[in-house]
Amino acid sequence: MQVKEFISQLDEARMVAAIGAAEQKTSGEIRVYISHHAHADALAFAQKRFQQLGMTRTRQRNAVLLYLAPRTRQFAIVGDSGVHAKCGDAFWQDVSAQLGAGLKQGDYTAALVQAVQRVGALLAAHFPPIAGDANELPDAIIH
C-alpha cells in the first residue's frame, strides 16, 4: 500500500487524542511512527527508530513505539526495557495479533486506537502518574 493512501485513511486527531488520554493515566509514553520506506524487517527498523527518537531516555524507561511500514504491510511494537520487564513477550504477541487483525480489516484508525488503549492500560497498571510528571515525548503521529 502506498504510504500517502494509508495516511489519508487515518484520523490523526482521534489517534493523538487516544495517545493523550492513555498518557494521562500513566507516566509512560506512547508514539506512533509511519515509515515511508519498504522494510523487509519492520522490527529491526522499529528498534533503530526507537533509539533515534530518543525513546530510551524516558526517566522510567517506559516508552512504547507502534511502528508501521505500509509499503510492506508490516508493523512492529517496541517497548523499552522497563515496560518489557513488566509485561513480557506474551503481552506483545497479544497486542500484535490484535493490531494485525484490525489492520487487515481496513479500519486503520480503530486498530491503532485500540492498540494505544491496550498499551496505555498496561502502562497505567505498572507506571502510574507521578506528581509533577511532564509529557516527555510528543504525542503527534510521525510520518
Average pLDDT over residues 53-79: 95
* Percent over 90 (pLDDT), the chain: 83
The pLDDT of residue 50: 97
The pLDDT of residue 131: 83
Fold held by 3-126: Diaminopimelate Epimerase; Chain A, domain 1 (3.10.310)
The pLDDT of residue 134: 81
Provide the residue ranges of all domains of the chain, joining segments of one domain with +. Answer: 3-126
* Radius of gyration for the chain, computed over Cα atoms and rounded to the nearest angstrom: 14
pLDDT digits 0-9 by tens, 113-127: 999 999 999 999 999
Predicted confidence band of residue 135 (pLDDT cuts 50, 70, 90): confident
Concatenating the DSSP letter of every residue in 95-137 gives HHHHHHHHHHHT-HHHHHHHHHHHHHHHHHHHS---TT----S
63-69/74-79 β-pairing? antiparallel
